[in-house]
Amino acid sequence: MIGIGPGRGSGTLDSDGASSREVYIWYTYVGKDLDVGRRLGVSLEGIAPAVAEQVDVMSYPDVQAATGDSSGPGRRHYWKGSLMWDLSAEFGDAFVERGLLPGAGCGIELFSLGGAIARVGEDETAYSSRGATFDLLAAATWTDPAHDTHNVALTRENWSALTPFSRGSVYVNDLGADSQERVRDVYGSSKFARLAALKERWDPENVFRLNANIAPRSGSTAATGR
């Protein structure tokens, strides 16, 4: 994953201004030969001066908790995502331009996909867009409710500037607070219709709806009588 935003490495996560902007790279090697992973780290050295660096052998739970306090209790979050199949020079320019805009807590990240995800057929599971190679995420994290309006607006602007380079698809976990607007974009029309039919069969009253909800085919949006 590569990102541009407030400093996870230098401790300027809640600072504003251009001085708080950093380019950061997170990578994970999963395999039996740890030397392969170590060589990957060596290949990244020297790209640019490092503000901070940490390379460790970690358990999966530790990797999931690696963002530390930036994802901890008490923080506020907002994000919008899009899946991408290729990266153009024009996208790269826009990614850097938007990422360098001052904004405490606001940043842009690009996660690498492919691998095992792409080795499963598109029609074998509900998970869609397996051919996507990157997950673009405009995101913000902050603590003061007074910054809600500004951070949400800037994150939406960042996403709006970059998503034209995508194909409109999105990973379901990236829907966030705007989930209902884009649920169909997650699965595509054909899979969405199949999932709505299953919902009609197994949960016709839409009891299980506190998520990126697919309503029953009949169109119910709320549970009744329970």
pTM: 0.85
Q: What is the pLDDT of residue 225?
A: 35
168-172, 177-181, 192-196: least confident range: 177-181
Q: What is the pLDDT of residue 124?
A: 94
CA angle centred on 145, ends 222 and 162, rounded to 5°: 75
Nearest to 201 by CA among 188, 184, 187, 218: 218
pLDDT exceeding 70 applies to what percent of the chain? 89
Q: Name the residue with higher pLDDT: 219 or 86.
A: 86
Q: What is the pLDDT of residue 221?
A: 53
Encoding tokens for residue 44? 């990244």
pLDDT at residue 17 tops 50: no
pLDDT at residue 35 tops 60: yes
**Which pairs from 74-78 meet CB under 8 Å and 24+ separation?**
74/143, 75/141, 75/142, 75/143, 76/141, 76/142, 76/143, 76/145, 76/147, 76/148, 76/151, 77/139, 77/140, 77/141, 77/176, 78/139, 78/140, 78/151, 78/152, 78/155, 78/176, 78/177
Q: Is 200 helix (H, G, I), strand (E, B) or coil?
A: helix
pLDDT at residue 139 tops 50: yes
Q: Is 107 helix (H, G, I), strand (E, B) or coil?
A: strand
Task: Round the average pLDDT of the chain to a whole number and report it.
Answer: 85
Between CA 197 and CA 144 the distance in angstroms is 43
Q: What is the pLDDT of residue 14?
A: 53
Q: What is the pLDDT of residue 159?
A: 95
Residues 195-210 have a mean pLDDT of 93
- Express each pLDDT in 80-136 by its tens digit: 999 999 999 999 999 999 988 877 788 899 999 999 999 999 999 999 999 999 999
pLDDT at residue 12 tops 70: no
Q: What is the pLDDT of residue 20?
A: 65
Cβ atoms of 173 and 128 closer than 8 Å: no
Report residue 51's pLDDT band, with 50, 70 and 90 as the boundaries.
Answer: confident
